[in-house]
Homo-oligomer: A and B are copies of this chain.
Amino acid sequence: MRARANRKPSRRNDPEGMRRKVLDAAFGMFQTRGYNGTSMQDLTKEIEVTGGALHHHFPTKRSIALAVFAERVAPAVRETWVVPVRAAPSFGQGIQSVFDAIIWSIDTRGSTSGCPLNNLAMELSLADPEFRQSAKNVFREWQDALAECLRETRAGRKMTKAARNDVAGFIVASYSGAMSLAKAEQSTAPLRVAAGILKRWLQAHELDR
């Protein structure tokens, strides 16, 4: 409430709001049409602004993509994966709750556009070293966070940091690949299979809690 009361008076020019609108629209359109399938003109149409106003905030489409990685994709991974796993009573339950939530959300929506990180990373990793670095950073942050959580598990606390990192990387890889299959099949079956196998695998290795 305080933040609300203290906020600046609204202005006709709302650069923060404008920036937010651009990034929200770009994040959505890059997911469904791809970066190369979305033009600056598509974006100006979508958010109903002039090309000049858009260019004032983002001189190039490239600058929009870099901001989307840092300000939309990275937070999406944090909210979907890192926060729930950290908050869960155990690592195994955390991983399951993430899969359950994603499966539920796809089943409810009836379709999936895939993993926001994987989609953009696949399209742009070769296009530009900075894009690739952005994708790598998000994968790295995700993997590091899971590796850190693994320290709380019975077997994980005895493992080296490198070994925990490998386990975390395998979880990220299995999920990302299952999501690719889910996108191609428009079905949650590959995610259900991956969730089940990972659950039993973590249990068998005392990495669940």
A-B contact pairs, 7 of them (CB 8 A): A121-B183, A122-B123, A122-B183, A170-B197, A173-B180, A173-B190, A173-B193
Give 1 or 0 for each of A153-195: 1 = CB within 8 Å of chain B CB: 0000000000000110110111111111101111001100110
Q: Is A119 an interface residue (CB 8 A)?
A: yes
Among B139, B177, B189, which residue has its beta carbon within 8 angstroms of that of A172? B177
A174's nearest neighbour on chain B, judged by CB, is B174
CB distance from A190 to the nearest CB of B (A): 6
Q: Chain A contact residues: over half helix, strand or loop, or mixed?
A: helix
Q: Is A45 an interface residue (CB 8 A)?
A: no
5 further interface pairs, Cβ-Cβ under 8 Å (given A118-B122, A126-B183, A170-B194)? A33-B36, A37-B127, A113-B126, A119-B122, A173-B190
Q: What's the number of copies of this chain in the assembled complex?
A: 2
**Contact residue range for chain A?**
35 or more
Residue of B nearest to A178 (CB): B173
Considering only CB atoms, which chain B residue lies closest to A204 in the complex? B204
B123 and A114 contacting across the interface, CB-CB below 8 Å: no
A104 at the interface (CB under 8 A from B): no
Chain B residues with CB under 8 Å of A167's CB are 197
Given contacts A176-B176, A178-B173, contact A186 B122 (CB under 8 A): no
